[in-house]
Amino acid sequence: MDDTTRAWLRIKQLGLRSRKWMQQLTYRSLDKVLADPEHKLLSYGFKAQDIAELNSIPHDLIEQQIVWQQSNPAHHIIHWQHPAYPEQLKQIASAPFVLYAIGDIELLKQPQVALVGSRNASHYGAENAFCFARDIASKGLVVTSGFASGIDGQAHKGALAANGKTIAVFGTGVDVIYPARHKALYQQIAQTGLILSEFEPGTQPRPKHFPRRNRLISGLSLGVLVVEAAPKSGSLITAKYALEQGREVYAIPGSIHDPRTLGCHQIIQQGAKLVTQTADILNELSVWHWLSEPAEIAENSEKMQKSHKENFTSNELLVNLDYEVTSIDELVARTQQSIEVVLSQLLDLELQGLIAATSGGYIRLRRE
């Protein structure tokens, strides 16, 4: 296996020029092709320059990656002919020949839904990302995202909160925690999920890496949910890749006054499916036959929904609180209660996780 891995790592160093070697892999593994003598390689149509370029790849560069793989049972190098390489990803243009992973590579064989969105997420967007991811993961789907601040981080956390599975696709090496504030999240995903990258271990963040990462997020998934996005954002790049790859694209609508949701409205106008609940996605993908919802999860979900419904319909203050920022003065005027009573009730609702304090007032976090 290591010989085959070494062969693919050599080919990977050639970049786009490696495509010529792929033509020889119909019946043979790559290490067997590369072991052929030069005269045979020339007879396959390769030029002497191709062979010289391949032979010039530093041996140490390859061995460093092999050592990384062998240093920990959770470290994996997944090449094109590896049994764990996802068939879903092979369908896209310019799929990487080699992937690096830490964690459970069996997740690559399971159906995935990607959640992406703004790094500068609103309370509304962060809550939606967490709740949608939690619900999707509780149904047995893998939640895939890009590990960035904001929506991506909330998506991973939501999946973990449901004891579900999540894949974090990096724009760095899998051993480089970026952003650094996600160290605890990184450790959780490495233990129970999967960290994935096409970049060698040790690769530091660079702006050009993240659009490349985005094509993998969409390529791995059956569909992409854009939770919150500005008109020009990496999330819309992911949505664009998804459309090119024949994947489904979904978007959650938001306030027409919030620039962080205008990208979602833009792709809805262009044909993305507007979603307001997880069932919108699951029905569209027709994935129910893949899913399992344990009785305990279903029971807890029903209790939670009942509790939330009671809070929404019985609490006068909550009924008068908008999903956009509502000031305390407005709440006093709407409820005709004293400011002391309003502040006390706001504190109770905030402790229940139903509202959040933000600049200028409060917002609701959960829907009925």
Q: For residue 80, tell me if it sits in a domain.
A: no
The verdict on 263 and 324 lying in the same domain is no
Pairing of strands 194-197, 98-103: antiparallel
pLDDT number for residue 257: 86
The verdict on 22 and 161 lying in the same domain is no
Host domain of residue 303? 296-364
The 10s digit of each residue's pLDDT in 246-263 is 999 999 999 888 889 999
pLDDT number for residue 322: 72
Count helices and strands (H / E) in the chain.
18, 11
pLDDT number for residue 1: 55
Query: Distance (Å, rounded) from C-alpha 197 to C-alpha 212?
Result: 10
The verdict on 305 and 273 lying in the same domain is no
The verdict on 164 and 268 lying in the same domain is yes
The verdict on 359 and 280 lying in the same domain is no
The parts of the chain modelled with pLDDT lower than 50 are: 294-313, 368
Burial label, 176 (beta-carbon count in 10 A; 0-12, 13-18, 19+)? middle
Domain count, the chain: 3
- The dihedral formed by the CA atoms of 9, 10, 13 and 19, expressed in degrees to the nearest 10: -100
Q: Domain boundary residue among 19, 54, 71?
A: 71
The verdict on 134 and 278 lying in the same domain is yes
The verdict on 189 and 268 lying in the same domain is yes
The verdict on 12 and 57 lying in the same domain is yes
The verdict on 310 and 338 lying in the same domain is yes
Per residue, the 3-state secondary structure of 33-75, as one string, reads HHCCCHHHHHHCCCCHHHHHHHHCCCHHHHHHHHHHHHCCCCE
Helix (H, G, I), strand (E, B) or coil at 253: coil
Q: What pTM, to 2 d.p., does this model score?
A: 0.80
The verdict on 263 and 349 lying in the same domain is no
The verdict on 59 and 188 lying in the same domain is no
Q: Token pair of 240, please? A: 């664009």
Q: For residue 98, tell me if it sits in a domain.
A: no
The verdict on 338 and 267 lying in the same domain is no
Q: Domain boundary residue among 267, 293, 319?
A: 293
pLDDT number for residue 305: 47
What CATH number is given to the structural domain containing 253? 3.40.50.450
**By C-alpha distance, which of 147, 26, 30, 22 is closest to 94?**
22
Q: Domain boundary residue among 260, 293, 326?
A: 293
